[in-house]
Amino acid sequence: MGWQASALPNVTGAQFVNPQQPDQIAAFKRLDNPTAAADQLLAAEIQTMYASKPGYEAPQPPTGQAATIGGETWSTAAIAYMNDNQTKEHVIICVTVHQGKTFVLEFQAPDAQFAQVSTAYYNIMIGKFQFTQTGTP
């Protein structure tokens, strides 16, 4: 769909950015050796990545909600913060533990556009997401 892919620093995964609007972002991460349940890992991801950003608005409820993505149960939460241009950004974070690894999906867009961007892009990405089997056939 024309978005630019790039690697993420210090983590296995990829980030996709809409070149027409660089604060429309979809990130897919994998972290090894989970040390907690998905809702606790979700809280840690929010604390690490977003809690110190200006204008941070904590998720309600703080522990997240359950969602099914690709046949798996994910813990999800929505947060908001102010970017460098003083635009309120809306972020949905989804976390699951699958086969001993933590997977994180993050979708971001300006708050005023998030519903439209979700319909046009993020819902399609989520609808196509699934884990595949790896190994010798």
Contact yes or no for 79/59 (Cβ under 8 A): yes
Per the structure, the complete domain to which residue 65 belongs is given by 4-128
Report the alpha-carbon distance of residue 89 to residue 23 in Å, rounded: 8
Q: Is residue 137 part of a domain?
A: no
Q: Is residue 90 part of a domain?
A: yes
Q: Is residue 104 part of a domain?
A: yes
Residue 104: exposure state from Cβ atoms within 10 A (0-12, 13-18, ≥19): buried
Report the alpha-carbon distance of residue 15 to residue 12 in Å, rounded: 10
Give the global pTM. 0.91
Q: Amino acid letter at 95? A: V
CATH, residue 109: 3.40.1000.10
Instruction: Specify the number of domains making up the chain.
Output: 1
Contact yes or no for 122/113 (Cβ under 8 A): no
pLDDT in tens, the chain (137 residues): 689 999 998 899 999 999 999 999 999 999 887 889 999 999 999 999 999 999 999 997 777 799 999 999 999 999 999 999 999 999 999 999 998 899 999 999 999 999 999 999 999 999 999 888 765 44
Q: Is residue 133 part of a domain?
A: no
3-state secondary structure of 29: strand
What single DSSP character describes residue 122? I
